[in-house]
Amino acid sequence: MFAYVWPIALVVLSNIVYHVCAKSVPSDVNPFASLTVTYAIGALAAAAAFFLTGKGAGFFREIGKANWSSYVLGLVILGLEAGFIYAYKAGWQVSTASIVQCAFLTIALIFVGYFLYQESLSWNKLIGIALAIAGLIFINLK
């Protein structure tokens, strides 16, 4: 049970801290300068985590096993983080920005799962899409 729950708990806790940090980036700093610091710290932390969990495997040998997805993921993460920083600078509230993007993301991933991974597209998912759209309408009502 713990092996099933702890990764999601880590994601939730990390996301909370992530959004507090993204909203706290000073308004007068270039977001990409801030993200350069972020990624330098992230790279050092990832390397340290590798050595703590790597079980003696060669660092550069393991890096050599990476495929295209690791490189694209780096660019995608930059887009995610820059997008949130710019959203917060534009005035999005921390209580709604994540919910709005998550609802759109969930709807899109239902179709990605269906078309790319042959996951089922059930009536429950279609009703969920309708409810997500209704939720977006209610969340954005002024």
Q: What is the pLDDT of residues 83-130, one digit of tens each?
A: 999 999 999 999 899 999 999 998 999 999 999 999 999 999 999 999
User: d(Cα 31, Cα 28) in Å, to the nearest integer?
Assistant: 9
What per-residue confidence (pLDDT) applies to 57? Answer: 75
User: d(Cα 96, Cα 111) in Å, to the nearest integer?
Assistant: 23
CA distances from 86 to 32, 92, 142 (A): 10, 9, 22
What's the pTM value of the predicted model, to 2 decimals?
0.85
Contact 85, 31 (CB under 8 A): yes
